[in-house]
Amino acid sequence: MDKIISENGDTAAEGSICGYDSLHQLLSANLKPELYQEVNRLLLGRNCGRSLEQIVLPESAISLSSKHDFDLQAVSFSADKEQMRNPRVVRVGLIQNSIALPTTAPFSDQTRGIFDKLKPMIDAAGLAGVNILCLQEAWTMPFAFCTRERRWCEFAEPVDGESTKFLQELAKKYNMVIVSPILERDIDHGEVLWNTAVIIGNNGNIIGKHRKNHIPRVGDFNESTYYMEGDTGHPVFETVFGKIAVNICYGRHHPLNWLAFGLNGAEIVFNPSATVGGLSEPMWPIEARNAAIANSYFVGSINRVGTEVFPNPFTSGDGKPQHNDFGHFYGSSHFSAPDASCTPSLSRYKDGLLISDMDLNLCRQYKDKWGFRMTARYEVYADLLAKYIKPDFKPQVVSDPLLHKKSS
């Protein structure tokens, strides 16, 4: 590793990687093999008692990775063999990428540049036999939502717009479901904007959409200039390859949001994101993994990569000087499983495609093992929440009767 990541997470050397992976490199170089294996077990968990296995990919996919200089990794989650069900193995992919052109370039050129950049990465996923592929949040554009400049609204498009048509052809070609997070322009409702994930079926059809449930108001990330909280609830999309859902970006900080997708039957929940090192990186390896454990489903976490510089400086309302970028989007996309195992992450700096085989039988096996659905007290939680949302709510606090008694 060229250099350890700096304190604010924004100035690591090119080619270094983040989180658990950087620890792996340091520990593997300094610990005895048996001790390193034990540390590795605690960091990445064990899938059915074993380390994750590498997947051998076709040379055609590897060649595209080399030619177009993107990170390519592939690992496999397994499940215990069952007597009454066959394995339900699905191959899933995540793509993280930087923008293709400076934010000062013509908008149409920027979008076309991203299409051209992603085409070989999607081709590699298709050649590798990926069944379900998810792209990063607002993948068709720079993440301009914190500048508060209205001109970036030009990137918005209807659900059946240019990006969807581009992906529909690839979905059909490779028999692949594609999750496409875009800035949606709702033509039928006064051209209101939404942060939306479009789910494209393996036949090139549009299965449906989900709009971002939680809008951040933290630091630079105050996105309500462009869109507000979504109105689609917590849909789960039943595809030929399994039941999937999309928890867009900031929703990962809300445990009840994760829970709702699980209650609706999700087997894989994608978390397409745009988040920077100085803000959220310590949370990144933890939240999705916790969600996978608590809700007995797989999670695919995708974060864009690179530093996007905007022509006009902006402020975030937190007293810091005006600036032209949000910080470094640290990539580090990864998968988490219901048995607490997780994959190494993609690069912190480089475009990448992460592929994983996952046996969806593991979801029910861990529901059976831990019994979270059976032992949860939903009626108790529902009663508290019903009271909490009322204006006359009083917290259930029992005070020591001597706590406020005056000294005699």
327 three-state secondary structure: strand
Q: Is 249 part of the annotated catalytic residue set?
A: yes
Residues 6+ apart with CB under 8 A from 30: none
State the Cα angle at 203 between 346 and 274, rounded to 5°: 30
Q: Considering only CA atoms, which of 161, 169, 177 is closest in space to residue 119? A: 169
Sheet holding 352-359, edge to edge: 53-54, 71-77, 352-359, 89-96, 132-134, 177-186, 192-200, 206-211
Q: Is 287 part of the annotated catalytic residue set?
A: no
Catalytic residue of the set 117, 209, 212, 350? 212
Q: Where are the alpha helices (DSSP H) in 45-102?
A: 59-68
* Helix orientation angle between 19-30 and 33-44, rounded to the nearest 10 degrees: 170
From CA 327, how far away is CA 318, in angstroms rounded? 15
Q: For residue 324, how many C-alpha atoms fall within 13 Å in the half-sphere facing its CB? A: 8
Region of 15 on the Ramachandran plot (φ > 0 left; ψ -120 to 50 alpha; else beta) = left
From CA 153, how far away is CA 176, in angstroms rounded? 30
DSSP at 50: B
Catalytic residue of the set 18, 117, 137, 281? 137
Q: How far is CA 222 from CA 143, 194, 309, 333, in A?
A: 12, 14, 17, 23
Q: Which residue bears the tokens 């195992």?
A: 341
Q: Which residue bears the tokens 């924004």?
A: 10
From CA 56, how far away is CA 48, in angstroms rounded? 20
73 three-state secondary structure: strand
Q: Is 173 part of the annotated catalytic residue set?
A: no
Beta-ladder partners of 185: 193
Q: Judge contact between 214 and 257, C-beta under 8 A.
A: yes
E strands, 41-99, where? 53-54, 71-77, 89-96
Catalytic residue of the set 18, 134, 146, 249? 249
Q: Which residues are catalytic?
A: 137, 212, 249
